[in-house]
Amino acid sequence: MPKDFYCPITQDLMTIPVILIEDGRSYEKYALQSWLDHHNTSPMTNNVLKNRKFIINYNLKNAIEDFKAKRLKVNYFQELSSLFTIKSCRIPKFYQDHPKLKIKICLLGDSSVGKTTIAKKLQFDDRIQTVPTLGPDFTIFYVDHLYENQYTIIIQLQDIPGMERYGCVYDSHFRTCHGAILVSDITNITSLKRLKTYWYKALNQKAMNEVECVLVCNKIDLFQHKNNEMFFEQAEQLASDNHLSLFYTSALTEKNIKAMFNQLILSILDNSILLNQLKQNNTQPLDFNESNINSSKCCF
Give the number of other Cβ atoms within 10 Å of residue 283's Cβ. Answer: 8
Of 61, 80, 99, the position where a domain reaches its end is 80
Per-residue pLDDT, 299: 39
Per-residue pLDDT, 300: 40
Pair 75, 114 in one domain: no
CA dist., res. 119 & res. 298, Å (int): 11
CA dist., res. 115 & res. 162, Å (int): 9
Contact 162, 134 (CB under 8 A): no
Question: Running along the chain, 300 residues long, what does each successive block of 10 average in pLDDT?
Answer: 88 94 94 94 92 93 86 70 75 90 94 91 59 59 88 91 58 86 95 94 86 95 78 91 92 89 90 92 56 41
Contact 200, 245 (CB under 8 A): no
Sheet containing 86-87, strands listed edge to edge, beginning at the edge strand earlier in sequence: 245-248, 212-218, 179-185, 100-108, 152-159, 137-143, 86-87, 297-298
Pair 199, 55 in one domain: no
Pair 34, 132 in one domain: no
Pair 161, 17 in one domain: no
Of 65, 80, 95, the position where a domain reaches its end is 80
| Torsion angles phi and psi, residue 214, rounded to 5 | -125, 145
Split into its structural domains, the chain has a count of 2
Pair 101, 61 in one domain: no
Per-residue pLDDT, 284: 53
Per-residue pLDDT, 297: 42
* Burial per residue of 17-49, b for 16 or more beta-carbon CB atoms within 10 angstroms, e otherwise: bbbbebbebbbbbebbeebbeeeeebbeeeeeb
Pair 218, 267 in one domain: yes
Residue 67 belongs to a domain with what CATH number?
Answer: 3.30.40.10
Pair 71, 146 in one domain: no
**What single string gives the DSSP state of each residue in 85-148?**
-EE-SPPPHHHHTS-EEEEEEEEE--TTSSHHHHHHHHTT------SPP-S-EEEEEEESS-BT
| DSSP reduced 3-state for 300 | coil
Which candidate, 296, 273, 291, 300, places its Cα nearest to that of 91? 291
Per-residue pLDDT, 124: 65
Of 24, 48, 80, the position where a domain reaches its end is 80
* Burial per residue of 182-198, b for 16 or more beta-carbon CB atoms within 10 angstroms, e otherwise: bbbbbebbebbebbbee
What's the domain range around 206? Answer: 84-298
Pair 73, 207 in one domain: no
With vertex at residue 277, the alpha carbon angle to CA 256 and CA 138, rounded to the nearest 5 degrees, is 45
CA dist., res. 45 & res. 236, Å (int): 26
The burial class, CB within 10 Å (0-12 / 13-18 / 19+), for 157 is buried
Residue 110 belongs to a domain with what CATH number?
Answer: 3.40.50.300
Which candidate, 282, 263, 19, 24, places its Cα nearest to that of 148? 282
Alpha carbon distance, N-terminus to C-terminus of the chain: 26
CA dist., res. 179 & res. 199, Å (int): 13
